[in-house]
Structure formats: structure tokens, C-alpha cells
Structure 1
Amino acid sequence: MKMNKSLLCLFLSLILLLTACAPAAVQTEPPTEAPTEAPTDAPTEAPTEAPTEAPTEAPTEELTEALPEETEAPTEPPERPEHTVKIQVSVNCDCTITNAEGQTVRQGDDSGPEGDLAIYSTGLYGFCTGTLPMEVWEVAASDSFTMETTTSPSAFCAEIGDAFYAVTECTGVTRIEFRDGYIKLSGSEMTYKILTTSHARERQYFCITGTGTTEIEFPIEDVLAASPIGETYRVERCTV
């Protein structure tokens, strides 16, 4: 009996051993495929436009109406004085004329008259007469007129009071001064011809011609009283 138990135990041990050694049946489950989701298109984002900033308007300056360019008001002719006289200067003469009040008018050989000696009207005289053509200017009356010039030949005429004074056909003369009853010339190796109605009877004038001196004065009354013929000049009475 005891032996049968031993055999039974041995048989059971053998079965257990065989069972343990038998290769385990590997259950191979079919591979679980990852669920294939339908491909989801990547969400198509609307193209992101660059943020458009509100256009920066240039700072709007207050609109200022364009003002018309300032134009100098036309120079009005000065008010004409009660008494005016005519003075004359040869055309294209480079000269400066000064009156007793110290006012001057300057003219270049290629420019018009400018200065504070006001001219109220202008004119021309002497063309086609064989003498120097003259510009005629109307100015305020004065007790004297003086012309300084660098032009030769030249001529200058002026009215003072009721008398007329003129130096014509002169060369080498750089300064001519007219006062009531008085004429003075300055220059170098001058030749000149003077006409004046000072101290002359109506419709008459005196003609004084001379040459070869640098300065000479003619106080008309003294010249006529002394002699009609001087050392360097000659005086003649003429009828207009």
C-alpha cells in the first residue's frame, strides 16, 4: 500500500513536470491596427493677410489759401509842385545832376535816370538838327542846377527863374554849374559854347564861346559890363 502511494506520487510529479516543460501555446491575437481615421485635411486657414493698418494720412496741415505773390505797388509819380522847370541833358550822357536842395538824379550811359530829384515828365529834343540830341526832364524849380559828367562831348541846359542856361557842343568839360545870372565850367582843355537869356532883352540871348582852359566863371552881368571879348572867350549878342 505504501508502495502504491509512492508510485502515485511519482506519477503525479512526472505529469506536473511534463506539463511545466511543454511549450506554452502563445496566443497570437491579431495585431490591433491603429484605428485608421480618415485623413483629416489640415484645416485650411484662410490666408492670413498682413494686417492692413489704416493708411496713415499725412498730417493734414490746415489748408492755407495760396496768397498771391506780393507785388510791389506801382510807384506813383510824386505830386507835381506848383513851379516846375525843364532841364536837358544829352542822350546817353553818364552824369549826375544836383539841385540847390541837394537832391540828385543819376543817369548812366545805358540806364535811365534814378534818384531823389523827382522827374514829372520826359521828352526828347534835337534829333535830326545836327546838334546833340537831348533828353528833356521836367523837375521842381530850384535856384541852381549842377551837372557832373564823364561823357565827352556832352550838353546840359536848365531853366532858372525866367532865364535859360545852356552849354552845348562842349568837350573836356566835367562840371557845369548854373545859378541865377551865373555859369561856371570845370574840366581839362575845355571847348564850349554857352547860350543864355540871362540879362538879355526879349527875343535875344548871349552866345559865349571859348577854349583852352580848365575852369572859368561867367557872372553874366560882370561879363557883359566889362567887355564882349575876354582873354579866352568871345561874347556875342544873338536874336532868337
Structure 2
Amino acid sequence: MRRTLFCLLLSLILLLSACAPAAVQTEPPTEAPTEAPTEAPTEVPTEAPTEAPTEELTEALPEETEAPTEPPERPEHTVRIQVSDNCDYTVTNAEGQTTRQGDDGRPKGDLVVYSIDLYGFDTGTLPMEVWEVAASDSFTLETTTSPCAFCAEIGDAFYAVTECTGVTRIEFRDGYIKLTGSEMTYKMLTTFDAGEDYYFEITGTGTTEIEFPMGEIASTGALSETYQVEKFSIYSV
């Protein structure tokens, strides 16, 4: 009997279990991540790429160097004058134009020099600068250099003072030579009125001033004692 009751009770429990509704799942579903996935930046960069400078250079370019001024056209009549290369000088012509020794050793002034040559180096004599200038009735050299030499063409004659010491001023005019200085020694050469194939040579000493009127000397063939001449000669070229 007990066994029968137990079976009935068990059958009733199973029936009730089968008829009962299915249990609702109580765990909440897994939530999706709340953070949005990292997105690529959408903003355009605010800094523009570096551009080449557009402004023009403000610093002015250096001006082009001007070409050296060409000397004036040579006049119809030019002559040569010569100055010893080691000499400081100021040369003046009859027109009052002058040239002097520049800082670079070359002539500077309004007495235009059309060409320059050199000679006398390694010859045992004073090296000379030879200038081509416009013809003039006189040329005068002033200097403080000793020894010095100066030569010039005037008209058809050639005048030269060489191997001189103590001379501070040499003046050449047509048929005339004048020296100024102190305790001077000198040698002069000239072709004035000596003929095409001859020249005068005069050597001597002086104190402060000596003048040589070559016309008088050429006509008499002798020099006054006031010239303090040691030697007067005529040579053939």
C-alpha cells in the first residue's frame, strides 16, 4: 500500500514539473562596448605645408663695376717724357696740366698719359718710365728723391738730366735747362742745335740754382765759369 502511494506521489510531481512554464533566463545579455571605436581624425591639418618664400629679395644687388674710362684720343702731336721709376714726382707742362705719382706708383692727374713703357732694368742705370703725352713748350719736374732722372722731348730736341743728386726741380724749355736744389751734382744731355747726329753732354756741380741757355752755349762752344761745369763735350750718336 505504501509503495502504491509513493508511486502516485512521484507521478504527480513529474506531471506538475512537465506542465510548469520554462524558467526565464535571468542573466542580462552581454552589453556591447560603450566606447566608440577609435575613428581616424577627420579634421584637415591646420598648418599649410611650407611654401617657398614669395617675397622678392630686398637687398639690392651690387652695381656693376664701370669699365675703366678710356683715355682721350691721342692728339696729332705727342712726345715722350721719362721719369726714373724710383722717383716721387710732380710733372707740369706749359699749359699748367700736372701729373704726380699715385699710390700705385702710376701717374695721376690732368696731364694725360696715353701710354707707359719701362726700360733700363738690370742695366746698371736708373730704371725709367717712358710716357707718351701731348707736345708742349715746357716740362718741369719737382721731386724730393735723390738720385733721380728726367728726360723730355720739346720741339725737335731731346733734353735729359741723369745721375743727379741734390736736385729738387728740373725745368726744360726750348733751348733752355734750369736746375734747382742744394749741393747738386748732375749730368745733362741734349740734342738742341747740335745737329741730327750729335748731342751735348755737360757734367758739373752747383749750389742752389743753375741755368743753361743752350743757344748761347752752342754758339760759343764754351760755358761760363758760373755754371761750375766739370766737363762739356759734343758726341756723335
Q: What is the TM-score when the length of structure 1 is the normalising length?
A: 0.72
The letter for the 2-side match of 1:142 is: S
Segments of structure 1 that go 5 or more residues without pairing to the other structure are 1-32
Residues 68-87 of structure 1: CA deviation (Å, up to 9, x unaligned): 86132143243111001011
Q: Partner of 2:20 in structure 1?
A: none
Please state how far the C-alpha of 1:50 moved relative to its aligned partner.
7.7
> For 1:113 and 1:120, how far apart are their aligned partners in 2?
11
Distance 1:147-1:50 versus aligned 2 partners, 3 A rule: same
Task: Give percent identity, aligned residues only.
Answer: 71
Secondary structure of residue in 2 paired with 1:40: coil
Residues 81-118 of structure 1: CA deviation (Å, up to 9, x unaligned): 10010111112222121112222222269622232222
> For 2:125 and 2:195, how far apart are their aligned partners in 1?
25
Q: Partner of 1:231 in structure 2?
A: 226
> For 1:203 and 1:110, how far apart are their aligned partners in 2?
38
Q: Partner of 2:93 in structure 1?
A: 99
Q: Partner of 2:152 in structure 1?
A: 158
> For 1:207 and 1:109, how far apart are their aligned partners in 2?
35
Please state how far the C-alpha of 1:54 moved relative to its aligned partner.
2.4
Q: Partner of 1:88 in structure 2?
A: 82
The answer (yes or no) to whether the contact 2:167–2:180 under 8 Å persists in 1 is: yes
Please state how far the C-alpha of 1:37 moved relative to its aligned partner.
7.2
Distance 1:100-1:63 versus aligned 2 partners, 3 A rule: same
> For 1:230 and 1:145, how far apart are their aligned partners in 2?
27
The answer (yes or no) to whether the contact 1:94–1:109 under 8 Å persists in 2 is: no
Q: Partner of 2:36 in structure 1?
A: 43
The letter for the 2-side match of 1:46 is: E
Q: Partner of 2:6 in structure 1?
A: none
The answer (yes or no) to whether the contact 2:206–2:228 under 8 Å persists in 1 is: no
Q: Rg larger in 1 or in 2?
A: 1
The answer (yes or no) to whether the contact 2:176–2:211 under 8 Å persists in 1 is: yes
The answer (yes or no) to whether the contact 2:120–2:128 under 8 Å persists in 1 is: yes
Residues 13-69 of structure 1: CA deviation (Å, up to 9, x unaligned): xxxxxxxxxxxxxxxxxxxx9x777153312353646833323646513589x9786
> For 1:239 and 1:109, how far apart are their aligned partners in 2?
39
Q: Partner of 1:175 in structure 2?
A: 169
> For 1:153 and 1:179, how far apart are their aligned partners in 2?
22
Q: Partner of 1:146 in structure 2?
A: 140
Count of aligned residue pairs for this structure pair = 207
Q: Is residue 204 from structure 1 mapped to residue 198 from structure 2 by the alignment? A: yes
The answer (yes or no) to whether the contact 2:167–2:182 under 8 Å persists in 1 is: yes
> For 1:192 and 1:63, how far apart are their aligned partners in 2?
66
> For 2:128 and 2:225, how far apart are their aligned partners in 1?
29
More divergent stretch after superposition (118-127 vs 187-196): 118-127
Secondary structure of residue in 2 paired with 1:221: helix
Q: Partner of 1:134 in structure 2?
A: 128
> For 1:101 and 1:36, how far apart are their aligned partners in 2?
124
Distance 1:69-1:45 versus aligned 2 partners, 3 A rule: same
The letter for the 2-side match of 1:166 is: A
Residues 128-153 of structure 1: CA deviation (Å, up to 9, x unaligned): 55432322111110111111112111
Output the aligned Cα RMSD. 3.2
